[in-house]
Homo-oligomer: A and B are copies of this chain.
Amino acid sequence: MANKRMSPELLELVAERFRALSDRARLRLLQELRSGPLTVNDLAARTEMAQANVSRHLAVLFANKLVVRERDGIYVHYALADRDVLKLCELVCGRLESELSEQRKVIAGR
């Protein structure tokens, strides 16, 4: 798998998946879901976002299989699809943190 060239279609799918993660609001929602499943209104309350807005962003995350949902009567519970979702974010976070500490070193150095 290492050195095969990916088809344009697969490439577009990958891009789309990253695009789903490229929004502050959606990352915030994923973050809130780390502690367990929540309903749309719960998420709206915790993130101070409008309900419609939360619902839309969740739809994007769901379409990209980053979250799962389950209807429970009048409520819909959303949860992280799996652990790898957070791994993705943490990989990026880790990079950012080491970059930031690099910057701090440089600034302190002068």
Contacts and interface: CB of A to CB of B under 8 A. Distances in A.
A22 interface: yes
A9 B27 CA distance: 12
Contacts of A96: 10, 13-14, 17
A31 B15 contact: no
B93 A91 contact: no
B99 A92 contact: no
Copies of this chain, tallied across the complex = 2
Nearest to A86: B2
13 contacts: A11-B24, A11-B28, A14-B89, A15-B21, A15-B22, A15-B24, A17-B96, A18-B18, A18-B22, A18-B92, A22-B22, A87-B91, A88-B88
Interface of A: 3, 5-6, 8, 10-19, 21-24, 26-28, 31, 34-35, 65, 84, 87-89, 91-93, 95-96, 99
Closest 3 CB pairs of A and B: A19-B22, A18-B22, A18-B21
